[in-house]
Amino acid sequence: MKAISKDELEQAAAIVYRAMAPTALYAWPLLAEALGTEVWVKHENHTPTGAFKVRGGLVYLHRLKRERAQVMGIVSATRGNHGQSLAFAARAAGLPCSIFVPHGNSAEKNAAMRAFGAELMIEGHDFDESRTYAAALADEKGYEFVPSYHRDLISGVGTYALELLTAQPDLETVYVPIGLGSGISGLIAARDALDLKTEIVGVVSEHADAYALSFEAGHPVATNSAMTFADGMAVRTPDPVAVDVICRGAARILRVSEVEIADAMRLYYSATHNIAEGAGAAPLAGLMQEREKMRGKKIAVILCGQNVDRPWFRTVLDGGVPKVG
């Protein structure tokens, strides 16, 4: 994929800011105390959908409406945040939006997608199967199939990274979660466009480590399952373009356990009183894993979303780990 320029990111930001303001960036003292380093949190949990994905949805739909005279509607697959972003943007664009989710998907994310105007379809046992159903409906109804990884999505979500790295250009390391790869790709794009040396560390669940395996192999490697309560990272089949971008732009990818993710969610709540979903807490879990290595440095973590179901969050606050499968 051709590099995304600063100008492209700034154009995307102009589109995003018609619907939302830049998100907060705070250095919380209790996080610094717990980790022994200066920690800046990029609060993508404070967007209109509670997650960073809304930025990409807005930019994708803007381009689609501009370039296509007739768009019948859009369809996609998701575990929740991508679907909310598309429903939010489609409603603003006046387009029908159908979203496929797997059986057992987050009840509260499902409710939010419906509230934003999506027609919700529950098909498949995981995200990858839901995506197959979504593509079939696109062919049947003549809808635009919206992938989870696309240049417009990357330039859109990359606006969070432009905000972060413009405000704090001397960050030594940034930890970011990996689902299908748009978030880390946007961060790499902004870092490179600003000509910075910031180290970027991707974080995946040890139970959904296709991107870690792919990074280590230098090419896409799929897995047979992705059973993690951090549903935003529950991906079995990596995108080949994303793998190439990550292999060229990331320093390393960490695997974190379900226990480590839950510990990070609890630390976020006790230190900042912010709610983090599993994928949102994963970057902090990665930093906690490397706290000795990062001691005394200036670090940022991306709190990419807050959309966790109440029963799971209750389990986490009570000291447990939500069970899946």
Asked, for residue 323, whether it belongs to a domain, the answer is no
For residue 110, give both structure tokens. 């499902």
The reply to whether 272 and 169 lie within a common domain is yes
Backbone conformation region of residue 28, classed left if phi is above 0, alpha if psi is from -120 to 50, else beta: beta
Sheet holding 298-303, edge to edge: 25-27, 38-43, 298-303, 173-177, 199-205, 252-256
Backbone conformation region of residue 193, classed left if phi is above 0, alpha if psi is from -120 to 50, else beta: alpha
Asked, for residue 85, whether it belongs to a domain, the answer is yes
The reply to whether 74 and 139 lie within a common domain is yes
**Contact, 262 vs 323, CB < 8 A?**
no
Asked, for residue 69, whether it belongs to a domain, the answer is yes
The reply to whether 208 and 234 lie within a common domain is yes
Asked if pLDDT for residue 69 goes beyond 80, the answer is no
Q: CB 161: neighbour CB atoms within 10 A?
A: 30
Q: CB 128: neighbour CB atoms within 10 A?
A: 16
Q: Which CATH number characterizes residue 198's domain?
A: 3.40.50.1100
**Distance between CA atoms of 289 and 3, rounded to whole angstroms?**
31
Asked, for residue 1, whether it belongs to a domain, the answer is no
The reply to whether 187 and 125 lie within a common domain is no
Residue type, 254: L
Asked, for residue 324, whether it belongs to a domain, the answer is no
Beta-sheet strands, E only, within the chain: 25-27, 38-43, 74-77, 97-101, 119-122, 144-145, 173-177, 199-205, 252-256, 298-303
**Distance between CA atoms of 5 and 106, rounded to whole angstroms?**
36
**Distance between CA atoms of 118 and 124, rounded to whole angstroms?**
18
pTM of the predicted structure, to 2 decimals? 0.95
- Among the three residues 145, 161, 189, which one is the final residue of a domain in this structure? 145
The pLDDT value recorded for residue 130 is 94
Query: Residue 245, SS3?
Result: helix
Residue type, 107: A
Band the pLDDT of 80: cuts 50, 70, 90: confident
Asked, for residue 325, whether it belongs to a domain, the answer is no
Average pLDDT over residues 135-146: 93
Burial of residue 112 (number of CB atoms within 10 Å: 0-12, 13-18, 19+): buried
The number of domains in the chain is 2
> What tens digit of pLDDT does each residue of 226-278 get?
999 999 999 999 999 999 999 999 999 999 999 999 999 999 999 999 999 99
- Among the three residues 102, 124, 145, which one is the final residue of a domain in this structure? 145
The reply to whether 102 and 41 lie within a common domain is no
Tokens 């292999």 locate to 247
Asked if pLDDT for residue 128 goes beyond 90, the answer is no
The reply to whether 86 and 133 lie within a common domain is yes
Q: How many residues can be counted in the chain? A: 325
Report the alpha-carbon angle 86-87-93, nearest 5: 85
Percent over 70 (pLDDT), the chain: 100
Q: For the CA atoms of the chain, what is the radius of gyration?
A: 18
Q: What would the DSSP string read from start to end of 142-193?
A: TPEE--SS-HHHHHHHHHHHHHHHHH-TT-SEEEEE-SSSHHHHHHHHHHHH
The pLDDT value recorded for residue 37 is 97
The reply to whether 140 and 200 lie within a common domain is no
The pLDDT value recorded for residue 173 is 98
Asked, for residue 60, whether it belongs to a domain, the answer is yes
The reply to whether 109 and 228 lie within a common domain is no
Which domain range does residue 86 map to?
54-145
For residue 260, give both structure tokens. 């480590």
Asked if pLDDT for residue 122 goes beyond 80, the answer is yes
Asked, for residue 240, whether it belongs to a domain, the answer is yes
Percent over 90 (pLDDT), the chain: 94
**Distance between CA atoms of 7 and 71, rounded to whole angstroms?**
27
**Distance between CA atoms of 112 and 8, rounded to whole angstroms?**
30
> What tens digit of pLDDT does each residue of 240-251 get?
999 999 999 999
The reply to whether 60 and 16 lie within a common domain is no
> What tens digit of pLDDT does each residue of 171-182 get?
999 999 999 999
The reply to whether 187 and 296 lie within a common domain is yes
**Distance between CA atoms of 64 and 276, rounded to whole angstroms?**
31
The reply to whether 256 and 198 lie within a common domain is yes
Q: Which residues pair with 100 in a beta bridge?
A: 77, 121
**Distance between CA atoms of 184 and 201, rounded to whole angstroms?**
9
Q: What share of the chain is helix, strand, coil (3-state, %, to 5)?
A: 50, 15, 35
- Among the three residues 145, 175, 196, which one is the final residue of a domain in this structure? 145
Task: Give the up-direction half-sphere exposure of residue 267: CA atoms within 13 A in the CB hemisphere.
Answer: 27
For residue 89, give both structure tokens. 């943007």
The reply to whether 61 and 177 lie within a common domain is no
